[in-house]
Amino acid sequence: MVGIVGYGTQIPRYRIRVEDIASVWGADAPSYKRGLNLNEKSVPGPDEDTATLSVNAARNALLRAGIDPQLIGAVYVGSESHPYAVKPTGTIVSEALGACPRVHTADLEFACKAGTEGLFIALHEVQSGVITHALAIGADTSQGAPGDALEYSAAAGAAAFIVGSEDLIAELLTTDVYMTDTADFWRREHTPYPEHGGRFTGVPAYFRHVTGAAKAIMDRAEMAPEDFDYCIFHQPNGKFPVQVARKLGFTEEQWAPGLLSPTLGNTYSGSSPMGLAATLDVANPGAHILLVSYGSGAGSDAFIFRTTERLSDVRDRAPHTRTQLDEYRVHIPYGTYAKFRRKILKAE
């Protein structure tokens, strides 16, 4: 049996409210708050990036796993905001954790799906028996163009999962995928901000792929929505994951523990993985969890986990995700946000 032996998250301390972005651009805050169920989003500090969030999340995962970092045979970092265009994030993370030098690493990119891609590879690689432990991270410090709809949701955060085959806190039951070539969101080389297909991002992109992957994996596992205790769907805003969950036949009790986007925003590659972490923070042993990611371009990875008795022994060894989200926050005005995100620069 393969599964998760430790998990951890890191959320930056800073937040900006939707009203404070809307007032700068003369936009209608209620349409974002009610229309997209977004209230505020996380903002990385000027000394944070995908590498730092990844390391700090992975350190929390190691606290829960309680393993020697030298046992980690592979490190996968999924992100669309790697600090370098050329030079792996995975080397920085592996070195900081003490996993070097006999560790295979790869940086992954697939819009918001890169985090679960790493998890998918890590689980199947450990299952193959080539290595005993692997680390999969989804992390981002994404940016939307000033005034663009994405600016209200593009947030920062990371989730890390240590995968193994012994001392599991959640066993993997099965995986599935649903992927097509659909250009709903993209960023060309050397351009700072992404572009997107507007309304096209909804039905043919997010809903089609998330629904496709969820149905495929439930068919494969011969399970129905009522067989699950929890579900997590990718969270580009606070509205899409609720709509898709409802449409598939899930209830609020199942999605509420993992739904972070209304006060976190969209952490891209970290989004559904952080929802999984928040769910593991509260799940009882024997709980069935459905996780479905989504990445523009476009595709979804789906996973079914079942939690074990060990989960309740390790969950308090590191900060809970909801505690990081609700208790460690300072609201900043748009000017500070623009400075932190280097939208404006001081003359040296």
Partner 1 sequence: MQVPRFWREIPRYYRLEAAACVQCDAIHFPPRKICPSCGANAFETVRLSGRGALTTFTIIRTPPSGFTDQAPYAVGIVELDEGVRLMAQITDCDVDTLKTGDRMIAKFRRIREEGRTGVIMYGYKFVPDVGV
- Closer CB to partner 1, 124 or 329, in the complex: 329
- Closer CB to partner 1, 100 or 149, in the complex: 100
Q: Considering the complex, what minimum distance in angstroms separates the CB of residue 66 from partner 1?
A: 15
Q: Considering the complex, what minimum distance in angstroms separates the CB of residue 259 from partner 1?
A: 20
Q: Considering the complex, what minimum distance in angstroms separates the CB of residue 47 from partner 1?
A: 4
- Closer CB to partner 1, 157 or 295, in the complex: 157
- Closer CB to partner 1, 207 or 328, in the complex: 328
Alpha carbons 295 and 205: distance in angstroms, whole number: 9
Candidate list 40, 112, 125, 209, residue with the active-site label: 112
Q: Which residues of the chain form contacts with partner 1 (CB under 8 A)?
A: 13, 45-49, 51-52, 55-56, 59, 83-84, 92, 95-98, 319, 323-324, 327-328, 330, 339, 345-346, 348
Candidate list 133, 209, 234, 288, residue with the active-site label: 234
Q: Between β-strands 230-233 and 288-292, what pairing exists: parallel, antiparallel or unpaired?
A: parallel
- Closer CB to partner 1, 92 or 150, in the complex: 92
Specify whether 48 is catalytic: no
Q: Considering the complex, what minimum distance in angstroms separates the CB of residue 248 from partner 1?
A: 33
- Closer CB to partner 1, 53 or 131, in the complex: 53
Candidate list 80, 117, 125, 151, residue with the active-site label: 80
Alpha carbons 151 and 14: distance in angstroms, whole number: 15
Specify whether 80 is catalytic: yes
Q: Considering the complex, what minimum distance in angstroms separates the CB of residue 163 from partner 1?
A: 22
Residues 6+ positions from 344 with CB-CB distance below 8 Å: 335, 338
What is the 3-class SS of the chain, one letter each residue? Answer: CCEEEEEEEECCCEEEEHHHHHHHHCCCHHHHHHHHCCCEEEECCCCCCHHHHHHHHHHHHHHHHCCCHHHEEEEEEECCCCCCCCCCHHHHHHHHHCCCCCCEEEEECECECHHHHHHHHHHHHHHHCCCCEEEEEEEEECCCCCCCHHHHCECEEEEEEEEECCCCCEEEEEEEEEEEEECCEECCCCCCCCEECHHHHHHHHHHHHHHHHHHHHHHHHCCCHHHCCEEEECCCCCCHHHHHHHHHCCCHHHHHHHCCHHHHCECHHHHHHHHHHHHHCCCCCCCEEEEECCECEEEEEEEEEEECCHHHHHHHHCCCHHHHHHHCCEECCHHHHHHHCCCCCCCC
Specify whether 252 is catalytic: no
Q: Considering the complex, what minimum distance in angstroms separates the CB of residue 282 from partner 1?
A: 17
Which residues are known to be catalytic? 80, 112, 234
